[in-house]
Every structure is written in structure tokens, then in C-alpha cells.
Amino acid sequence: MPEFHIGVLATFAAQIIGAAVTAVLLYGFNRQYRKSYLQHWTRGWAALTLYHLSGAASMVLALRLRLPATAPSRIIATLADGISGYLMVGWFLFGIWEFVRRRPIRMFAAQRMLAALVVIGVIASLLFINRAPISEERYLTRVGVRALFAAIGFGTVALTLWRARRNRPGLGFSILAVAFFCYALEQLHYLTIGLIWAVAGTYLDFALWIGVADFLIQAVIGIGMIACLLEDEREAAELAAVQIEHLAYHDALTGLPNRPLFMDRLIVALAQADRSSQRLAVFFLDLDRFKDINDSLGHTVGDALLKAVAERIRRCVREGDTVARLGGDEFTLLIPRTDNVEDVAKVAQKILETLKIPFFIHERELFVTTSIGISIYPNDGLDPETLLRNADSAMYRAKDQGRDNYQLYAPAMNARALERLALENMLRKAVAQKELIVHYQPLVDLHSRHIIGVEALVRWDHPQLGLLSPAHFISVAEISGLIIPIGNWVLRTACRQLRIWQKRIDYDLTLSVNLSARQFQQPDLVEQIRSAVNDSGIHPSSLELEITESNAMQNAENTSYTLRELKALGVRIAMDDFGTGYSSLNYLKRFPIDTLKLDQTFVREVTTDPSDAAIVSAVISMAHSLNLAVVAEGVETEGQLAFLRRQRCDRIQGNLFSPAVSAEMVEPLLAEKTAKLA
């Protein structure tokens, strides 16, 4: 039977103080770094403190005071000793697992395992309670079994840390692995004492020396944990620095190089090309109508599409080429060595063909094209900024040529780009200085010959150039985004003017207003229309909104949803420029459309071109079968008028009766009501 030693009690005191200090240190580190594995380690050291404290108390109560095992104080100390001993092992294991695997353990699983350890500790503490101060059976179940569990756990930890140290530089892993291995061996000592005591009846008393060894090993474990923490923070700081550097030179969405890195590589490539008298090519790519996809389907779909596009472009080029994303839907490509222009053209054509293959994003089939501008060193520039600017100018030329093509830079393109920029600046000033005005073109009913409404058309009253039609500035307004405020202003101005005419001339007058592609994709379009109608005081049925066929078909599902929302307001819907796009008759039936507007390109030749005459006749017949009204645009001759009457066209507008004129000039025509038609 073991005897009471003051020296053993002193080692207990040293272990208690050491464990408590380590727990406090780790608690302080955890408050600073907020690491989940530090929480487990802190709890483990707190449990170890309680384990040593309860062990010392049990020794005093059993060997010094000779209290029976069933005494309440001994039961409390025994339970605290048993439970804390198992929990200490569990928390240390959880912490090491999280530290090595770099991910937290599942909370539900951890709670279940800790509960199981508590139950085991309670059972082991209460087995073989008798009146003897201490017995070999109780020692084996209380100390020996826990020691076996701790030896297996700490041995596994040591092996795990030793293997992981190869991928984690620093001494922390090695120190902690060796310390836990020694701790596992030391735990086997307690098991050995219990087995010898149970079999041979002899108690081997090494408590004093084992206590000293225990204190030293625990101190090394504490030092190893702190060293591992500091090394982990150093690795995290290095990783963060690498990530920051990567983000500084790469696009966060696609992972491609960004503008600064692209320019750096272009500078290096120019220096190499100059030394070896080689050519290089710079591509500037801009996705066609990407904003429509982004606005209609949302940024999540847009971002996924950009990543897919970036990956396809990257697969089209060689390993030494650089694909970069400048921002938005703009990409650049650097080909550092090229022998002739034909090779550059082949790369551009390959990219165009690759992007034409449908994309499947979030269970949607999307079609994307791109416009590409190309500049070549040294012909088109000698420095990075000039080459990129000229490639940009060539890209705009590709846009002007109908999109989905590539253009090589030509010096005249810079003049065009400067002209476009100047026009955009003037247009911004025109909006601010209220140089834009609204003209109105009468809409005539062919059956009654009455003017039933007007179409609102924007004009620019330029101080130097005079009155400009939309053909001179609408494309720039679309590209720059100015079409949004311009369109809203036209809508509100025309609605207020209509209300004046309805009060003064005819309450049944209607108004047609064009919606641009950018306007139609705005998420607050319905609210804008509602606000304009309510503020002006007109009845919603007096307003007809015109959308072009090509814009309607870009995203048929979204178009159908938006049109139904607009119809719910009570406004009417017209499809403008019908016949110039690629409408599916099935979608035409599904869209809540009231009116088809025949494009003037078909009306112009109805008296001389049998094909146009057949198309116009077929469209009118089809529209009437769908209960749609038909408006013929651009009627300029008596022959066109006579043909349209024979085909039972519903309404016309055109210069034959009146061009688009100011509100003051159109008002007398509205007052006469009856159009003077042959």
C-alpha cells in the first residue's frame, strides 16, 4: 500500500501551478487569436489542473486522514479526479486534430465524445468502493485504465505530429511530438504499477520521481503548444501576404492577371521584342451585350459566365501568352511572339468560334459573342499604353461592324474614338443644359382617318450643329449609359404633354414611347413607368411602350416576365421594327403584345418589290389572327398608302402625313383630328 509523502505533495503543487499557468497563457492567446484549437487546449490544461488538484486531495484524504472510500469528501475528489482525467485527454486530442487538419471538429460529435468520457470517468471512479483507504482494484480501474486510454491517445497524437512536421517547418511540431510520446510512455508506468499490484500484490512506489518527470514533460508540452501556435501564426501571416500579393496582381473573380500585372508583362515583352526584332500582338476583348445578361439574370449568373468565358479564352492560347481581365466584361491578351498577322488572325478567329459554343450556367443556356480589337508592335505603337489604347479603338470598330468579329488597328480608328469621346462629353453637357427636346409624330387610324395618338421621339437641339436626330447620338448614349436618364426624361416629358392635350383637345389621345435595351433591362423599370403615369395623371391605357424585336428576344423568359408586369399596370405594349430580328412565332404568341409595328425597310419597297409586299401582307394577316393591331412605319407615298389599305393595315405613321415635329407644331394637327389622306 502506498504511503503519504510530503515530497509527492510538493510535486503535485508544482504540477497544479504549472498546469494553471499554462491554461491562463493559452486563454490569453485564444482571446487574441481566436483559434478553436486553443479553446480545446485551454480546457485541456484547465482539466489537467483539476486532475492534479483532485489527485492531491484524494491522496491527503486517503493516506493522511485515512477516510474511507465512501466518505462524501473522497467521493467528490474521486469523481473530480476521474472525470477531469478523461476530459483532459479528450480536449488535448480535439485540439491536436484541429491544429493538424486545419478545420474544426464537428461540435455534435465532440459533445457526444466528451459526454462518453464523463460517463467512463464516473463509472471508473465508483467501481470497487470499499472501506479500505485504497486498494489495488480501485487503483487499476481509476488510474490504470485512464493511463491506458491516455497512452493510446497521446501516442497517436505523437505519431500524427511527427508525420505532419515534414510539411510544417519549425521546431514546434517536433517538440510537441516528442513530448507527447514521452507522456504516453509515462502513462504506461501507471498501468504497469496497477497490473503488478493486482497480480503480485506489490505496490512499486515511484510517485516522487514520476511526479517530477510528469511536471517536466507537461512543461515541455506547454512550451511545444505555444511554439506551434506562434509558428502557425507565422505561416498564416506568410499565407496572407502571398494572398494579398496575388490579389494585388490578379482578378479576384476569374484568377486572371489584372491590369497592373498585364502592363508589367507587356513592358517585359516589349523589351524582349525590341532586342530580338520580333513582333508582338495585344488583343482587347469586350463581350457583346453582357450587361443585358447581368441586369436580367443577376450578378451571380453574370459572374459565373465571366469565369467560364475566362477559362475558354485561356484554353485558346499558348502557355506563354497572357490573358488578363481589366474589369467588367473586358479582357486583354498578350501574344509576346508572332511571326505574321495571319497567325494573330487565327487566334482571334479561334476565340470567336470558341465563345459561340453555348454556355450552361445555373441550368440556363446562354449565348455570348465578343468583339476583338488587335494592335501589333511595332506598327501600331511602341509603348504599352499606345498599344492597349489602339487595340481598344480597334475593338470599338469591331462593335460598329456588327459585333462578333475582330478588327486590326488602323490609324483612322483613333480619330473615330476621339470623335466618340467628344460626342459623349457633349451629350453629357446637353443633358445637364437641357438641350434635348421631344418631337411627336402623329399616328393615323386608316379606317377612321383620325389621329389617334403620337409617338414621342427625342431630338438634340445642338447650339452649333442644329437639330440632330437620334441616329447621331443614340448609339453613344447606349454605350455610355446616358440612355437611362435620357429615356426616363423623355417618358416623363411626353406623359405630361399628353395630359395637357387630353385636357385641351381629346381625352382619347394615346402616346407611344420607345424603351431602349438598357432601359428594358433596368430592375426598377416597372416602378419608373408607374411613377411617370401617376405623376402625369394620364390613364395607363393611354400609354403604349415600344420595345424592339431584337431586344425582346435576347432573353425571352425575362422579357415575358417584365412585359406581364407592365401589362399589370394597364399600359399597352408594341413590338417595334418587327421583321428585322429573329422572333420565334411561339414567343410572339406568348408575349402580352397589343401592337406590331412594321419596319419601314419593308414598307419602303411594297410597291416595287414582290418579296416585301408578300412579307407585309403575311405579317398583317398573322397579326390580325393573333388579335394584334398593325402599325406601318415610314409611309411616304400614295402607293404605299393604297397598298396598306388593301391589306387592311390598322394604322400608319410617316412623312406622307407628318414628320416628327415639336409639340407646338403638332398641336394644330391634333386639333383638326381628321388626317388629310388621299
Question: Is residue 596 a contact partner of residue 619, using CB atoms and an 8 Å limit?
Answer: yes
**Cell (9 digits) for 20:** 494553471
Domain boundaries defined on the chain: 6-246, 259-410, 422-672
* % of the chain at pLDDT higher than 90: 26
Return all residues near 226 (Cβ < 8 A) that are at least 6 apart: 25, 26, 29
Report which of residues 605 and 207 the model is more confident about: 605
- Among 333, 357, 358, 331, smallest CA distance to 347 is for 333
Residue 125, phi then psi, degrees to nearest 5: -75, -30
* pLDDT tens figures, 348-389: 999 999 998 888 888 888 888 899 999 989 888 889 999 999
Place 308 in a pLDDT band, splitting at 50, 70 and 90. very high
Mean pLDDT of 475-490: 85
The reported pLDDT for the residue numbered 135 is 65
User: Dmax of the chain from CA atoms?
Assistant: 131
Predicted TM-score (pTM) above 0.75: no
The reported pLDDT for the residue numbered 540 is 92
* pLDDT tens figures, 15-40: 889 889 999 999 998 888 888 889 99
The reported pLDDT for the residue numbered 215 is 84
Place 419 in a pLDDT band, splitting at 50, 70 and 90. low
Distance CA 263, CA 260 (A): 5
Please check the confidence at residue 131 and state whether its pLDDT lies above 50.
Answer: no
Please check the confidence at residue 468 and state whether its pLDDT lies above 50.
Answer: yes
Question: Is residue 278 a contact partner of residue 272, using CB atoms and an 8 Å limit?
Answer: yes
Cell 513592358 locates to 267
Task: Say whether domain 422-672 belongs to CATH 3.40.50.300.
Answer: no
The reported pLDDT for the residue numbered 409 is 85
The reported pLDDT for the residue numbered 323 is 92
DSSP code, position 63: I
The reported pLDDT for the residue numbered 23 is 92
The reported pLDDT for the residue numbered 549 is 67
* Strand-strand pairing, 466-468 and 279-287: unpaired
- Among 663, 678, 677, 676, smallest CA distance to 509 is for 663
Question: Is residue 392 a contact partner of residue 285, using CB atoms and an 8 Å limit?
Answer: no
For 6-246, give the CATH class.
Answer: mainly alpha
Mean pLDDT of 289-300: 78
Architecture (CATH level 2) of domain 259-410: 2-Layer Sandwich (3.30)
> Rg for the chain (alpha carbons), in Å?
42
The reported pLDDT for the residue numbered 126 is 78
**Torsion on CA atoms 295, 300, 303, 308, rounded to nearest 10:** -110
Distance CA 124, CA 209 (A): 26
Please check the confidence at residue 58 and state whether its pLDDT lies above 70.
Answer: yes
Place 140 in a pLDDT band, splitting at 50, 70 and 90. confident
DSSP code, position 257: B
The reported pLDDT for the residue numbered 453 is 92
Buried b (16+ CB within 10 A) or exposed e, 430-456: bbeeebbebbbbbbbbbeeebbbbbbb
Distance CA 265, CA 335 (A): 10
Neighbour-count burial of 405, counting CB atoms closer than 10 A to its CB (0-12 exposed, 13-18 middle, 19+ buried): middle
Q: Mean pLDDT of all residues in the chain?
A: 84
Beta strands in 422-477 (DSSP E): 436-445, 451-462, 466-468
Place 1 in a pLDDT band, splitting at 50, 70 and 90. very low
Please check the confidence at residue 550 and state whether its pLDDT lies above 70.
Answer: no
If one counts every other C-beta atom within 10 angstroms of the C-beta of residue 511, the result is 26
Please check the confidence at residue 208 and state whether its pLDDT lies above 60.
Answer: no
Question: Is residue 594 a contact partner of residue 574, using CB atoms and an 8 Å limit?
Answer: yes
Mean pLDDT of 657-676: 84
Distance CA 489, CA 491 (A): 5
Question: Is residue 587 a contact partner of residue 556, using CB atoms and an 8 Å limit?
Answer: yes
Ramachandran category for residue 443: left, alpha or beta (phi over 0 → left; psi -120 to 50 → alpha): beta
* pLDDT tens figures, 315-358: 998 888 999 998 888 999 999 988 888 888 889 999 999 998 88
- Among 152, 144, 208, 207, smallest CA distance to 180 is for 152
Beta strands in 79-170 (DSSP E): none
Question: Is residue 439 a contact partner of residue 493, using CB atoms and an 8 Å limit?
Answer: no
The 3-state DSSP class for residue 1 equals coil
Please check the confidence at residue 46 and state whether its pLDDT lies above 90.
Answer: yes
Mean pLDDT of 595-603: 86
**Cell (9 digits) for 477:** 448614349
Of 234-243, 422-431, 613-622, minimum mean pLDDT range: 234-243
The reported pLDDT for the residue numbered 673 is 67
Cell 510537441 locates to 176
- Among 598, 548, 610, 2, smallest CA distance to 292 is for 548
Report which of residues 539 and 521 the model is more confident about: 539
Question: Is residue 296 a contact partner of residue 555, using CB atoms and an 8 Å limit?
Answer: yes
The reported pLDDT for the residue numbered 82 is 85
- Among 561, 660, 656, 657, smallest CA distance to 607 is for 656
**CA-to-CA dists, residue 215 to 229, 307, 479, angstroms:** 21, 57, 75
The reported pLDDT for the residue numbered 412 is 58
Please check the confidence at residue 572 and state whether its pLDDT lies above 90.
Answer: yes
Mean pLDDT of 423-436: 84
Of 198-202, 563-567, 587-591, minimum mean pLDDT range: 198-202
Distance CA 194, CA 196 (A): 6
